[in-house]
Amino acid sequence: MKEFDLIAAIRQMTTTLPANGFEGIGDDCAVLPLGEEALVFTTDALMEGVHFLRHTTSAYDLGHKALAVNLSDVAAMGVTPVAVLLSLSLTAKATERWAHDFMEGFTDLARQHGVALIGGDTTRSEGGISIAVTAIGRGALRDLKRRKDAREGDLILVSAPLGGSAHGLQQLMEGIEEGHCVEAHRRPQPEIEAGCWLGKREEVHAMMDLSDGIHSDLRHIVEASGMDAEVDVARIPVAEGATRDEAIVGGEEYKLLLTADGASAEALCRAFTEQFGRPLYPIGRITNASESPSIAWFDGGEPFNCTKKGFEHFSE
Amino acid sequence: MKEFDLIAAIRQMTTTLPANGFEGIGDDCAVLPLGEEALVFTTDALMEGVHFLRHTTSAYDLGHKALAVNLSDVAAMGVTPVAVLLSLSLTAKATERWAHDFMEGFTDLARQHGVALIGGDTTRSEGGISIAVTAIGRGALRDLKRRKDAREGDLILVSAPLGGSAHGLQQLMEGIEEGHCVEAHRRPQPEIEAGCWLGKREEVHAMMDLSDGIHSDLRHIVEASGMDAEVDVARIPVAEGATRDEAIVGGEEYKLLLTADGASAEALCRAFTEQFGRPLYPIGRITNASESPSIAWFDGGEPFNCTKKGFEHFSE
């Protein structure tokens, strides 16, 4: 069974459940509006042998990553991550040292972004190590950015050069254990400050984080928004050392993908650079409303055959 | 490493993190006060081979149980569970049928208690099946019941006869697959309505759910409250078919353990019976404040040597 089939089946089964004031199924986070405020919620699991191998991922890096991927989902909604809950299931082989290093990676990143650890569960595992994190964000309801809000004429932008994580993974498999791409893969830096800052910009319409690769993730925005889009792959910024293919289909970037009003995008890019000392990268445009949304890929004006698929956890 | 050592180590490491307005570490749930309201949060993991065996636990029962244990934690705080997030990691051997049955058990219980499924993550697992649920509750801040609020002179009460789940597990291991004890183990019914009702009673001071056994769980209340207590094991209600030992140390009951003002407890018990058609059971008393809280166990007036330990997930 493919992951997306299972998710679809689960959604179907849960249509008869109440919403209790929550919204946002299909976004990076679920949303609970509370007057002018909102809380957002997301959960992600990391499984040994699927998302990481213990002999290639240090406990510290894994603690960092388990938190980073969840904070990234919150920041991609345009609000501030405030708290997390952690379920940690350890095999008998995972030593006290391993658990300590994992928690150090986890809490170092939590401290860096001012996130509280408010609860958790620790259990033994007979299989591999299993980690599940739930993150909670809090912000103004009007700042929330959703996938469905891309509009005709929006520019499509990314917040950083891409492909570094995928290239780092490739290097690790080849035995190369140092360099900024390896670092990008081992300790992804989620765009917390940038996400919150972009949340406050009205000209930003849709936003999400890049976890499965731009090729796969942009589809979520166009499908949720009911829009066609075109992307010029020549404009996708490629991380130093990475290939263009890695930048297009590589996952686990945890950078931001957003759309912004076409007329205001230039001013947005200038303000972003003033704020963060680095650019936003326009890579394409939302062209028109569509009942069967699709993305046209170009390479410097020439149609580009972009067949590779983003990563899915279940294989057919 | 023992589970409780790991939790202590984690708490130590997280003392340098901010609280961001959350409170309640040490309770069944973390609490986020929002004016006169509060949200509460809890997470629990179920691991194949540790918490369940696939050949003795049906997918439907497991879906039920994964949700039940989390709803129980919320109700034990005295507030209503409103939403859950689910992380489900499946082995390649877990079929579409298995996933469907699991979700059916999960959503049937969610529907019964009006709980929303607001998000989740589905991944593949190379080890066993792994399930993590985060539950969110919502209620009035003044209704919240915590472990630390037991007072001198409080009666200690439980909400139902105990030991049924432990006896059911024993029966299952002996090949007996039917009966109300087996049912209590397979499909525990969390005390949602009773917990919310008790939350609104001012004379109820401390409350928690019975997950590790009364012998172990009552220690949490006396230690958090800084109180000594005495319990008459002859007054602990024993589920039909179960033994007294099973009622004292058996876990996975998901019934309520509470303390209530001694002068008002009789009226509370009457009102509870009127509301639910079944009694609350006084089993002991909070005797005095103490710097080294302990529980004195009696059996009909005679001191009782209660040496058995509650279940801990890590073995030494």
Residues of A in contact with B209 (CB under 8 A): none
More reliable by pLDDT, A221 or A57: A221
A99 and A169 co-located in one domain? no
Confidence at B9, pLDDT banded by 50, 70, 90: confident
Confidence at A4, pLDDT banded by 50, 70, 90: low
C-alpha distance from A205 to closest chain B C-alpha (Å): 22
A122 and A204 co-located in one domain? no
Q: Indicate the Cα dihedral angle B210, B216, B220, B223, nearest 10°.
A: 150
Q: Is residue A312 part of a domain?
A: no
Mean pLDDT of B65-79: 96
Q: Which residue segment(s) compose the domain that B39 sits in? A: 3-142
- pLDDT of amino acid B13: 79
Mean pLDDT of A210-237: 94
Confidence at B311, pLDDT banded by 50, 70, 90: very low
- pLDDT of amino acid B150: 98
Mean pLDDT of B178-199: 95
For residue B53, what is the nearest residue in chain A, using CA coordinates? A126
- pLDDT of amino acid A313: 40
CB within 8 Å of B237: residues ≥ 6 apart: B158, B160, B161, B162, B247, B281, B283
More reliable by pLDDT, B213 or B191: B191
Q: Which of B123, B142, B161 is the last residue of a domain?
A: B142
- pLDDT of amino acid B315: 35
Give me the total of CB pairs closer than 8 Å, taking one residue from chain A and one from chain B: 250
Mean pLDDT of B169-197: 94
More reliable by pLDDT, B124 or B131: B131
Q: Does the structure show a pLDDT above 90 at B167?
A: yes
Q: Is residue A310 part of a domain?
A: no
Q: Does the structure show a pLDDT above 80 at B243?
A: yes
Helical segments of chain A, H only: 3-13, 59-75, 96-112, 164-173, 180-186, 192-199, 214-225, 244-249, 265-276
CATH number for A7: 3.30.1330.10
* Cα separation, A264 vs A194, whole angstroms: 18
B152 and B92 co-located in one domain? no
Average pLDDT, chain B: 91
Q: Is residue B71 part of a domain?
A: yes
C-alpha distance from A153 to closest chain B C-alpha (Å): 31
A18 and A166 co-located in one domain? no
Pair A84, A116: CB distance under 8 Å: yes
Least-confidence region, from B6-15, B193-202, B302-311? B302-311
Confidence at A310, pLDDT banded by 50, 70, 90: very low
B97 and B31 co-located in one domain? yes
Tens-place pLDDT, residues B252-264: 999 999 999 999 9
Confidence at B24, pLDDT banded by 50, 70, 90: low
Confidence at A56, pLDDT banded by 50, 70, 90: confident
Q: Is residue A309 part of a domain?
A: no
Residue of A5, A10, A124 lying closest to B47 (CB–CB)? A124
A57 and A116 co-located in one domain? yes
* Cα separation, B82 vs B118, whole angstroms: 10
Q: Does the structure show a pLDDT above 60 at A1?
A: no
Q: Does the structure show a pLDDT above 70 at B99?
A: yes
Tens-place pLDDT, residues A73-127: 999 999 999 999 999 998 887 778 888 999 999 999 999 999 999 988 888 888 8
Residue of A19, A21, A45 lying closest to B87 (CB–CB)? A45
B137 and B151 co-located in one domain? no
Is residue B92 helix, strand or coil?
A: coil
Mutate to test the interface with A, among B4, B11, B17, B42 (most CBs of A within 10 A): B17
CATH number for A267: 3.90.650.10
A9 and A50 co-located in one domain? yes
Least-confidence region, from A183-187, A307-311, B301-305? A307-311
> How does DSSP assign A218-269, residue by residue?
HHHHHHHHTEEEEEEGGGS-B-TT--HHHHHH------EEEEE-TTTHHHHH
Residue A211 forms beta bridges with which residues?
Answer: none
Q: Does the structure show a pLDDT above 70 at A316?
A: no
Mean pLDDT of A131-140: 96
* The two structure tokens encoding residue B288: 């005095």
Residues of B in contact with A115 (CB under 8 A): 17-18, 20
CA A310 → CA A166, A186, B238, distances in Å? 12, 20, 56
B133 and B181 co-located in one domain? no
Residue of B29, B49, B110 lying closest to A126 (CB–CB)? B49
- pLDDT of amino acid B310: 39
C-alpha distance from B102 to closest chain A C-alpha (Å): 10
* The two structure tokens encoding residue A4: 């997306």
C-alpha distance from A12 to closest chain B C-alpha (Å): 11
A150 and A244 co-located in one domain? yes
Residues of B in contact with A9 (CB under 8 A): 96, 99-100, 103
pTM of the model: 0.91
* The two structure tokens encoding residue B114: 């009006």
More reliable by pLDDT, A55 or A164: A164
Residue of A21, A42, A128 lying closest to B126 (CB–CB)? A128
Average pLDDT, chain A: 91
Residue of A13, A18, A43 lying closest to B121 (CB–CB)? A43
Q: Which of A125, A142, A159 is the last residue of a domain?
A: A142
- pLDDT of amino acid A155: 98
**Are B1 and A42 in contact (CB < 8 Å)?**
no
Confidence at B2, pLDDT banded by 50, 70, 90: low
Tens-place pLDDT, residues A248-279: 988 899 999 999 999 999 999 999 999 999 99
Mean pLDDT of B262-270: 97
Q: How many CB atoms lie within 10 A of CB A243?
A: 14
**Are A130 and B126 in contact (CB < 8 Å)?**
no
Confidence at A307, pLDDT banded by 50, 70, 90: low
Q: Is residue B312 part of a domain?
A: no
- pLDDT of amino acid A95: 75
C-alpha distance from A201 to closest chain B C-alpha (Å): 24
Q: Does the structure show a pLDDT above 60 at B221?
A: yes
Confidence at B87, pLDDT banded by 50, 70, 90: very high
- pLDDT of amino acid B307: 62
- The structural domain count of chain A equals 2
Mutate to test the interface with B, among A32, A37, A51, A121 (most CBs of B within 10 A): A121
Mean pLDDT of B157-161: 98
B16 and B134 co-located in one domain? yes
Is residue A8 helix, strand or coil?
A: helix
Q: Which of B108, B142, B176 is the last residue of a domain?
A: B142
Q: How many CB atoms lie within 10 A of CB B247?
A: 25
For residue A23, what is the nearest residue in chain B, using CA coordinates? B118
Q: Is residue B123 part of a domain?
A: yes
**Are A119 and B25 in contact (CB < 8 Å)?**
yes
ipTM value of the model? 0.89
B229 and B112 co-located in one domain? no
- pLDDT of amino acid B159: 98
Residues of B in contact with A87 (CB under 8 A): 43-45, 87, 132
Q: Does the structure show a pLDDT above 60 at B139?
A: yes
- Closest to B25 in 3D by CA, of A29, A205, A119: A119
Give the percent of chain B with pLDDT over 70: 95
Tens-place pLDDT, residues A181-213: 999 999 999 999 999 999 999 999 999 999 988
Q: Does the structure show a pLDDT above 50 at B316?
A: no
CB within 8 Å of B93: residues ≥ 6 apart: none
More reliable by pLDDT, A24 or B234: B234
Least-confidence region, from A263-267, B10-14, B108-112? B10-14
Least-confidence region, from A138-142, A307-311, B209-213? A307-311
